[in-house]
Amino acid sequence: MKQTPTPHIGAQYGEIAETVIMAGDPLRAKMMAEKYLDNPVQFNNVRGMLGFTGTHNGKPVSVMGHGMGIPSIGIYTYELYNFYGVKTIIRVGSAGSIHKDLNVGDLVIAMGACTNSNYAAQYELPGTYAPIADFDLCRRAAEAAEKFGYNYKVGNVFSSDTFYTENAHNDKWMNMGVLAVEMEAPALYMNAARSGNKALVICTVSDNILTGEATTAEQRQNSFTHMMDVAFSLL
């Protein structure tokens, strides 16, 4: 069976760059294409999950949506790594802060990802797997945030399978030094590890769970550009 196009990505092999910067919201991917890419060409609209390839400072790069949650990003990043020859995926997304010193607009660079997901069960590992980012990407992202003068922290995030939950237990994760809550990092990190490739998650704090400070959907879509500046600087 021909591997590309896949059931979820309509591109032919070679239409997607080796580095892909992804966002949960496909409209955020469209915004990145318009803001950061020269001569972007759309390669995907299957299920409305927009993807574009262009260049940034002369280097080929693709941007694409990945949807919400571990199952969704798990499908898209698996296909990118295993069927399209992608080597590096950087997710830029939003997260809820559970750290007293992380406010709306600050960046979280996810060095590791705790989770309540069962995604790792497929590998039948004889223990608990710790999904982590590529160290070089993580180090360079921190250096870039410093250079730009953006407020940021590097550390663990908690990636939840549920947005609306009966018992969040955020205080328990906070007590273990976890910085923020998001919903995708472990699947990306595990897919990267299993395929021998690289991955990093950079999030903007969209709300502070401790204080109730929050942003609108429009703000999340259009104004969280600091994390994108950092991501594109890693090319």
What pLDDT does residue 222 have?
66
User: What's the Rg (C-alpha) of the chain?
Assistant: 17
Chain center to CA of 174: 21
Active site residue 136: no
Segment 213-227, tens digit of pLDDT: 877 777 766 668 999
Q: What is the pTM of this model?
A: 0.95
What pLDDT does residue 217 have?
74
User: Mind giving me the DSSP string for the chain?
Assistant: ---SS-SS--PPTTSS-SEEEEESSHHHHHHHHHHH-EEEEEEE-GGG--EEEEEETTEEEEEEE--SSHHHHHHHHHHHHHHS---EEEEEEEEEE-STT--TT-EEEEEEEEES--GGGGG--SS----B--HHHHHHHHHHHHHHT--EEEEEEEE-S-SS-S---HHHHHHTT--EEESSHHHHHHHHHHHT-EEEEEEEEEEETTT--B--HHHHHHS--HHHHHHHHT-
- Domains of the chain in start order, with CATH, are 19-233 (3.40.50.1580)
Contact by Cβ (8 Å): 93, 32: no
Segment 180-198, tens digit of pLDDT: 999 999 999 999 999 999 9
Catalytic residue, from 134, 161, 207, 229: name it: 207
Contact by Cβ (8 Å): 98, 209: yes
Segment 77-99, tens digit of pLDDT: 999 999 999 999 999 999 999 99
Average pLDDT for the chain: 95
Residues of the chain with confidence (pLDDT) below 50: 1
What pLDDT does residue 223 have?
64
